[in-house]
Amino acid sequence: MLLSEENVDDQITGGKRHFHGIDLLKGLLIIGVILINSIRAGQYDSIYRYMLASMTIPLFIGISGFLVKEKFLKHASFSVVFKKYFFRMILPWIIASIVYFFILNYNVYETLDIKDIIFFFISPYNHLWFIPALFGWILVLWILLKFKMTPKDILVFSILFTIFWVLVIESNLYTEVSLLDSVFSKFRFKAFGNEFLFFFVGFWLGCHIRDDDRLRSNHFDLVWIFIILIPALFLFRIFYFYNFAQPFYTIDYYMFNVSTIVCAMFIVKDRHFNRVKILKWVGKQSLPFYLYHVVIVIITVEQYNNRVHVNVWYLITYSMMLLLIPIIFFLSRIGFVDRYIFGNVKR
């Protein structure tokens, strides 16, 4: 039976249940993402950016997979799935992409044509790759569930897919095929496969521990194995940076982030953290913070790059970042903005 548009919300969210601990974690991760995109150094030049990139986005992706309900995707039609995520992710992403397109091309309007606009969406700017990749992972999961694959089968598939992707695509073996070389050199598709595994690890965990406390208790002893692995892999990642740095996507990267996702979901899922309400609110509003924080970086680079000391630039940038909190707070009070630009569709 296909779910109707009327009951789809209850199926995907499990009624009125809300994971406050995950809101807090998302708030912390947004801060990490802001730091990644504001550090004035290349990924392989700064240990801080390298380590933040090594763990922030994968955990965010794991959370996204954890919150997707198997029952909803298994029974929903494509139109229901598309409508669900169009207003929550795709429309806000389209609006943000338009904003960035005009900001980045404000002085060359006369030379732009429709191909430039289309290419900007096909090959997203900077951090904007995440939303189409996330929707792509959801569609892949929807297809696999339609083939009646179990969560365990899907997890195995994601592991095999990731191995193939890293060995063939990330290692640039595809350059031997001219068509693939043309596609991957022009479009930002690599992140879709590089981070593929983490969404499905999160989904598998969600199927096992989200709503079944008995299962969670039975598996908690296994979490200690991952807790022991995390600091060891973290230190190895630092060692790897100073001695090799590239390639970025190595076995320790995947082991570290899978361990982090497992531990994080077990530990924070049912916690409320009532004393840190501001971080929980940032987590609930993670989409607008994610989409628009780079606007601040663009403005400060344009206005202050090479004009002030780098430490002054950081002070200016992060001070302006703080202004996003009241701006998003007040704009979220406007129903139209909250629904269609921030993606907060009321359940």
Q: What is the mean pLDDT of residues 126-153?
A: 94
Residue 228 banded pLDDT, cuts 50, 70, 90: confident
Is 185 exposed, middle or buried (CB count within 10 Å of its CB: 0-12, 13-18, 19+)? exposed
Mean pLDDT (the chain) is 83
Res. 327: pLDDT tops 90: yes
* Residue 173 pLDDT: 62
Minimum mean pLDDT among 34-43, 176-185, 219-228: which range?
A: 176-185
Q: For residue 20, give the nearest of 274, 345, 286, 288 by alpha carbon.
A: 274
* Residue 6 pLDDT: 41
Give the torsion sign (CA, 275, 278, 284, 289).
negative
**Alpha helix locations (H) across the chain?**
8-13, 20-38, 47-66, 70-75, 78-85, 91-104, 114-122, 130-146, 151-164, 178-186, 190-194, 196-209, 213-243, 251-268, 277-284, 286-304, 310-322, 324-331, 335-336
108-117, 168-177, 242-251, 332-341: range with highest mean pLDDT: 332-341
Contact between residue 187 and residue 118 where contact means Cβ atoms under 8 Å apart: no
Q: Is 3 helix (H, G, I), strand (E, B) or coil?
A: strand
Q: How many whole angstroms separate alpha carbon 93 and alpha carbon 31?
A: 19
Residue 226 banded pLDDT, cuts 50, 70, 90: confident
Q: Is 125 helix (H, G, I), strand (E, B) or coil?
A: coil
Over residues 300-319, the pLDDT tens digits come to: 988 887 788 888 999 999 99
Whether the predicted model's global pTM rises above the 0.85 cut = yes
Report phi then psi at 229, rounded to 5: -70, -35
Parse the chain into domains and list their residue ranges.
8-285
Q: What is the DSSP letter of 342?
A: S
* Residue 186 pLDDT: 54
Q: In terms of pLDDT, which residue wins out, 247 or 85?
A: 85
Q: How many whole angstroms separate alpha carbon 87 and alpha carbon 78?
A: 15
Contact between residue 133 and residue 127 where contact means Cβ atoms under 8 Å apart: no
**Helix 324-331, helix 310-322: angle, nearest 10:** 20
